[in-house]
Structure 1
Amino acid sequence: MGEADKVSVQLGLIEAHEQTIGKIFSDSYGFEIPPYQRPYAWEEEQATELLTDLLEAMDNTEISGGVYFLGSVVLIKSPADPKSLVVDGQQRLTTLTILISVLRDLTLNEEVRINRRSFVFQRANPDSGTVDRYRLLLRSQDRAFFSKFIQIPDATSELPDPTKLQGSQQRIAENASYFRRQLMKMEEERRNKLVAFIIQRCYVVAVAVPTPESARRIFRVLNARGLDLTATDILKADLLDRAGHTRELDLASRWEAIEQRLGRDKMVELFGHIRMIFERDKPRVALEDGFPTYVKPFKGDADLFMTDFLEPLAEAYSLLSNRQLLRNRFGLDAYRAVQSLDRVDNKDWVPAAILCLWKMQDGGLIAKFLIDLERLTYLLFCIRAEVNVRISRNVDVMDIIDPRPEKPVPMFGLDLSEAEQFQFLDALSGPLYTKTRVCKPVLLRLDEALSSGGATYDDIVSIEHVLPQTVNEGSDWAQLFPVEQERKEWTHRLANLVLLTRRLNTKASNWDFDRKKTQYFASEDGSSPFPLTQAVLQTPTWNLQFLKDRQRTLIQALGKLWKLEVSLLDRADDFRSKPLSATKLVEIEEGTWLSDTLRALKELGGKAFLPDLYVKVEQVRLDAKRSLPANYQAIVRKILEENSEDSDAHRKRHSLFRNADKGKGLWIVA
């Protein structure tokens, strides 16, 4: 890195200067965190790493060369003006200010302590034209707190209890407390050495651009290279920049109120859901790029977007997590439906739920929608429908709530056909335990349905088999279930599974039935909090006939819960003999000729002549950057015929397409 000589590179409007921390915290710069920046977020872990790195670089001059590089900071700054809006570097500048302030307050020599204040506070000087101000001004929400507990002399001597704070202020207090604990262990001489090392031998590259537009471009580049920024940070910067200075603070405050209520990760998820509500297709570009493209109101008036879209959509999203409010507004059944939805392993249902809460006004209709949405979601969940099928079906649901003029009314939304109900029941009736992600959510939902309303569930809920997975020869279980094939058929099915409020005990799994239910399944008072398990405790024996009866009872309970016609299971041969239609939940691998042909035909409204379909398939393939051989039209025709029941080339797997007019080549989605 060399000595303290300044290295400058000017690239058009961008200036990059290598500066010492002493120069950074001088009259040359007046740092200010703009409203669009996220709150201070460094935790004690990052503060520890910084202090450790500084001490190691200071102590190991042979390795470090006696210097330490702190990376770059990106600023909006005119060459002749010290005012510097921090685009990137807030976390480091804030943490360094905390560290220097603690070192200042621990300084024993009064004169030295006064001198060290200059790295935190700029004194007014009429001769040089400077005014009283802190070297670093945090966002308006944290500015007074930072001044009171960090920047004012001796402020770090009386820090507030971090456990009584939250968010950025909690992080500030925690890191200041950590630095004090560590630095108080050092001798004064070592602390003085550390201050000198930070001020004289630590460097940053200050990248200054004169306009917000240029800074935002750098902001995006840094994000693409792995900087700890989220897509919503970039979108926030874009929105506030377009809002103008007079509205910037108000909009930033409202944005951050939403982010604080949801949390940063949930804020990003919300924006993903909002994009799905507007785009209604599988996302194919990054959120920060796709959101402005598809969410048209975002590019319009910033106030209008905040008032009419972001705030009400965030309110709807928050309501999904506020179970008590959900229950009060929409009743116990809707509350349980949303609680159950949260247990599935995807969030494809969330945009439709948000749209419902945003658009619909009638509480009774909202409750019915949420209950029916749970049924559809669990159908997709239990049959393990792949992501494109899930997205497509939920898009249909949204198109029914909020129709798009350019799109036909979907044939299927929340309603389930007989074939779909059979698929659902068939999945529930089979070896449910082998579907590891599905089993516990279904059992918990079933147990809720069997309860009187007081059942509660936490993370310490495990699933156990009554008839054990491994049966030893000569055991009571071998006598009760002597046929191995019957054991295999029933071991993992719904009737043989119970819920426990304890970790699994592999030794207890093979106990005989009486011992197992009294010493393993039951709690100290001889009962179980789970109705599903309590019924087992009240059973005198466990045999094949009881399993069959219990299976029938439980499937009927799920059928009642999800409004499924259980008698469809008696027609299993009828349903299994028919090829699955495209309107049913066929699992199709994304990126194949089959998926692209089906997608193209659906985008043409579900019906198209071959020449138009060829053009659309070509567009789909090229947009996805997939190969397009010269004979692609022949490939499309083959795909259509092999997946059409009325074609001689039908492969008897799917019936996705139908040739509506063989003379004219009119194809439709079956």
Structure 2
Amino acid sequence: MTIQLGLIEAHEQTIGKIFSDSYAFEIPPYQRPYAWEKEQATELLTDLLEAMDNTEVSGGVYFLGSVVLIKSPADPKSLVVDGQQRLTTLTILISVLRDLTSNEEIRINRRSFVFQKANPDSGTVDRYRLLLRPQDRSFFSKFVQVPGATNELPDPANLQGSQQRISENAIYFRQQLARMDEERRNKLVAFIIQRCYVVAVAVPTPESARRIFRVLNARGLDLTPTDILKADFLDRAGQALETDLASRWEAIEQRLGREKMVELFGHIRMIFERDKPRIALEDGFPKFVKPFKGDADVFMTDFLEPLAEASSFLSNQQLVRDRFGLDAHRAVQSLNRVDNKDWVPAALLCFWKVQDRSKVANFLIELERLTYFLFCVRAEVNVRIGRYVEVIDLIDPLPDRPVPKIGLQLSEAEQFQFLEALSGPLYTKTRVCKPVLLRLDEALSSGGATYDDVVSIEHVLPQTVEEGSEWAHLFPAEQDRKDWTHRLANLVLLTRRINTKASNWDFSRKKTHYFASDDGSSPFPLTQGVLQTSVWNSQFLKDRQIMLIQALAKLWRLDATLLARADEFKGKSLTPPKPNGIEEGTWLDDTVLALKELGGQASLSDLYKQIARLRGETKRSLPTNYQAIVRRTLEENSEDSDAHRQRHRLFRNSDKGKGLWSLA
């Protein structure tokens, strides 16, 4: 079947026709690396076998989706715009089946689906049916396409990236197919070649292909915004620069990872746009990052590579310490613990623009203070972005931008709000508590403590006090217990999981057998202070609270005496907390935060994963029906939904066909 729509041709083809002289496939340099993992390879093989065996259900055929090609009607040369993952995996599968064939004549014939032999009569030349990107081409030829190559496959543990995936999937296919008898393997080859179909969509120009590339995502990995931007970038660069720029782009992507690459482009966009993103990254980046639309080599050399280097540097704690000192190192370590990355564009810009190391070090220390102020008072995203944009304007002033009013500094009113947040029931701020405690402990430490995911927070005075217990005697007034239970002075760090039974032990037993290690000490100064006292009552907590708040005030250069002047700040305009009464730790709060961290727009599947991660990090439950809860939360707080409950207007269903949701 052939469909012709203007310059677009769509042909339904068997795999036998796809891997014939009609097509000469080549993966262009701008494509992302081969990325299918064993999970996708398993799914493909399972689907093929089920379709082959259950003809009543499948009709004896199997559809593999579509491939998008830049191809002229009379020329077999086919640049693969979409479909690389399937074509590569099918080539691996057919190559393994070829090498397992015992009959030499049949084995030679099966080579024709992988290799095109020169034929002067038909005008063909020797070439492989599929040429991967230049970076992987020789590896794929040596270990997959050459006859007998899959008999001795390299150890994936010694490889990385796309070559590791190729080897892993070839080994998987080899293991599975070797268990079958030859008759069943022959049947599978015939089914793949004769009864499996794809729709080959051919367009003559890269521009047309890119448009289809953005909407046709067949089974496998979704396109990222940077995949789309890369295709646009390399197409504009021209053939002379394409290979070199593609290699440099992929070197950055391999160093950072695909997710970090998308994050980097979001940060670069913020450096240029200096406002809350309101359109998708793939649309907003070319609009606001003007150098991207200019000379491609200049953008790569003067913008992308140095900012990518800054991003890598920011992730390397040892390099930060070596270049900028211990205080800057601790500040960056602490910054990486907060629940958003809004501070990163300013840090990247500073690394990029400021050469004086002492100035960079001081900037990082000041940036940590500002970030933790916004973090602890739970400033909403518009407030955070507005403040960080002022910092960006300080580093890189532009003639059309207003002069920043305050930037990195904190007013007395903001210092008071910061101190008040630190002095209150910190434990109830689920995302804030642990980063603050770790930073405080680090400030008190001489360097002996280490901090990782195993560190947990425990209450000294337990959250639930049993009648007649020692705790009831030490804190007879219920209000007194409520006042102190979740505050800084009553919290300690442990290098073990929380033991709910031990939580209610008497103080002396809890201290000796729960808080202390085998040698009777603790690596955490916060916890060591508990081990060194014989009393735990209201007066001790009051004194300890003052001491700890003073330590944080010293760390973040806050005037602790402002707490005694609370009346002066009543009625003053402070940075607002979360808008519209959204309670911390609720599904609504999680959904808003997850969308923010995903750049303001995400598919439901990505949103589910992000919310699951957030709740996992804070050790909160994730019921089996959590996806339904998230959908209901979105719909009840969106004017686009009939289920809208009129209270909040927080979300938009930005593309109902794709299930995309964004912040309103």
**CA distance, structure 2, for counterparts of residue 401 and residue 587 of structure 1:** 28
**CA distance, structure 2, for counterparts of residue 589 and residue 403 of structure 1:** 34
What's the offset of the Cα at 1:221?
2.4
- Residues 392 and 278 of structure 1: is their aligned pair in 2 closer, same or farther, counting only changes over 3 Å? same
Is the counterpart of residue 565 in structure 1 residue 559 in structure 2? yes
Is the counterpart of residue 338 in structure 1 residue 335 in structure 2? no
What's the offset of the Cα at 1:455?
2.1
1:412 alignment counterpart: 406
1:272 alignment counterpart: 266
What's the offset of the Cα at 1:438?
0.4
2:33 alignment counterpart: 39
**CA distance, structure 2, for counterparts of residue 219 and residue 562 of structure 1:** 49
- Residues 224 and 95 of structure 1: is their aligned pair in 2 closer, same or farther, counting only changes over 3 Å? closer
1:296 alignment counterpart: 290
Q: Is the 8 A contact 1:389 1:586 kept in 2?
A: no
Q: Is the 8 A contact 2:65 2:218 kept in 1?
A: no
1:234 alignment counterpart: 228
What's the offset of the Cα at 1:222?
2.4
- Residues 236 and 420 of structure 1: is their aligned pair in 2 closer, same or farther, counting only changes over 3 Å? same
- Residues 388 and 418 of structure 1: is their aligned pair in 2 closer, same or farther, counting only changes over 3 Å? same
> 1:56-455, aligned counterparts within 5 Å?
56-222=50-216, 228-455=222-449
**CA distance, structure 2, for counterparts of residue 479 and residue 456 of structure 1:** 36
**CA distance, structure 2, for counterparts of residue 589 and residue 534 of structure 1:** 41
**CA distance, structure 1, for counterparts of residue 475 and residue 57 of structure 2:** 72
Find 1:535's aligned residue among 521, 529, 540.
529
Q: Which amino acid aligns with 1:580?
A: S
Find 1:580's aligned residue among 573, 581, 589.
573
2:630 alignment counterpart: none
What's the offset of the Cα at 1:589?
5.8
What's the offset of the Cα at 1:213?
1.0
**CA distance, structure 2, for counterparts of residue 156 and residue 458 of structure 1:** 42
What's the offset of the Cα at 1:579?
3.2
Q: Which amino acid aligns with 1:362?
A: D
Is the counterpart of residue 546 in structure 1 residue 540 in structure 2? yes
CA displacement, residues 112-161 of structure 1 (integer Å, 9 cap, x when unaligned)? 00000000000000010000000000000000000000000000010000
TM-score scaled by structure 1?
0.86
**CA distance, structure 2, for counterparts of residue 419 and residue 223 of structure 1:** 51
Q: Is the 8 A contact 2:82 2:217 kept in 1?
A: no
CA displacement, residues 306-361 of structure 1 (integer Å, 9 cap, x when unaligned)? 00000001011111101100000000111111110111111100001101111111
Aligned pair count reads 584
Q: Is the 8 A contact 1:396 1:412 kept in 2?
A: yes
> 1:7-46, aligned counterparts within 5 Å?
7-46=1-40
**CA distance, structure 2, for counterparts of residue 117 and residue 226 of structure 1:** 26
What's the offset of the Cα at 1:225?
11
Q: Is the 8 A contact 1:30 1:136 kept in 2?
A: yes
Tell me the secondary structure at the aligned position of residue 434 of structure 2.
helix
- Residues 381 and 525 of structure 1: is their aligned pair in 2 closer, same or farther, counting only changes over 3 Å? same
**CA distance, structure 1, for counterparts of residue 192 and residue 523 of structure 2:** 60
What's the offset of the Cα at 1:412?
1.4
**CA distance, structure 2, for counterparts of residue 227 and residue 49 of structure 1:** 13
**CA distance, structure 1, for counterparts of residue 418 and residue 366 of structure 2:** 14
Q: Which amino acid aligns with 1:550?
A: R
**CA distance, structure 2, for counterparts of residue 436 and residue 588 of structure 1:** 18
Q: Is the 8 A contact 1:389 1:587 kept in 2?
A: no
**CA distance, structure 2, for counterparts of residue 471 and residue 586 of structure 1:** 32
What's the offset of the Cα at 1:585?
4.3
Q: Which amino acid aligns with 1:85?
A: L
What's the offset of the Cα at 1:525?
1.4
**CA distance, structure 1, for counterparts of residue 380 and residue 348 of structure 2:** 22
Is the counterpart of residue 487 in structure 1 residue 478 in structure 2? no
Q: Which amino acid aligns with 2:470?
A: D
Tell me the secondary structure at the aligned position of residue 147 of structure 1.
helix
Tell me the secondary structure at the aligned position of residue 12 of structure 2.
strand
CA displacement, residues 575-630 of structure 1 (integer Å, 9 cap, x when unaligned)? 12x2315xx4465569xxxxxxxxxxxxxxxxxxxxxxxxxxxxxxxxxx999xxx
Tell me the secondary structure at the aligned position of residue 84 of structure 1.
strand
Q: Which amino acid aligns with 1:394?
A: Y
1:54 alignment counterpart: 48
**CA distance, structure 1, for counterparts of residue 188 and residue 277 of structure 2:** 50
Structural RMSD (CA): 1.6
Q: Is the 8 A contact 2:256 2:312 kept in 1?
A: yes
Q: Is the 8 A contact 1:74 1:88 kept in 2?
A: yes
What's the offset of the Cα at 1:365?
0.5
Q: Which amino acid aligns with 1:189?
A: E
2:593 alignment counterpart: none
Q: Which amino acid aligns with 2:478?
A: E
- Residues 504 and 323 of structure 1: is their aligned pair in 2 closer, same or farther, counting only changes over 3 Å? same
2:588 alignment counterpart: none
Q: Which amino acid aligns with 1:261?
A: R
> 1:599-610, aligned counterparts within 5 Å?
none
Q: Is the 8 A contact 1:281 1:392 kept in 2?
A: yes
1:619 alignment counterpart: none
Q: Is the 8 A contact 1:420 1:585 kept in 2?
A: no
Q: Which amino acid aligns with 1:556?
A: Q
Q: Is the 8 A contact 2:36 2:220 kept in 1?
A: no
**CA distance, structure 2, for counterparts of residue 502 and residue 467 of structure 1:** 18
Tell me the secondary structure at the aligned position of residue 271 of structure 1.
helix
**CA distance, structure 2, for counterparts of residue 224 and residue 337 of structure 1:** 44
Which consecutive aligned stretches of 4+ in structure 1 deviate over 6 angstroms post-superposition? 224-227
Q: Which amino acid aligns with 1:153?
A: P
Tell me the secondary structure at the aligned position of residue 580 of structure 1.
coil
CA displacement, residues 413-436 of structure 1 (integer Å, 9 cap, x when unaligned)? 000000000000000000000001
Please identify the structure whose Cα radius of gyration is greater: 1
Q: Which amino acid aligns with 2:327?
A: D
Q: Is the 8 A contact 2:65 2:219 kept in 1?
A: no
What's the offset of the Cα at 1:523?
1.1
Q: Structure 1 unaligned runs (5+)?
A: 1-6, 591-624, 628-670
Q: Which amino acid aligns with 2:572?
A: P
What's the offset of the Cα at 1:219?
1.1
**CA distance, structure 2, for counterparts of residue 145 and residue 300 of structure 1:** 35
Q: Which amino acid aligns with 1:348?
A: D
Q: Is the 8 A contact 2:327 2:365 kept in 1?
A: yes
**CA distance, structure 2, for counterparts of residue 159 and residue 210 of structure 1:** 38
Identity %: 82
1:649 alignment counterpart: none
CA displacement, residues 39-72 of structure 1 (integer Å, 9 cap, x when unaligned)? 0000000000000000000000000000000000
What's the offset of the Cα at 1:561?
0.4
CA displacement, residues 395-422 of structure 1 (integer Å, 9 cap, x when unaligned)? 0110111112112211110000000000
1:663 alignment counterpart: none
Q: Is the 8 A contact 2:99 2:151 kept in 1?
A: yes
2:619 alignment counterpart: none
**CA distance, structure 2, for counterparts of residue 51 and residue 515 of structure 1:** 59
Q: Is the 8 A contact 2:85 2:220 kept in 1?
A: no
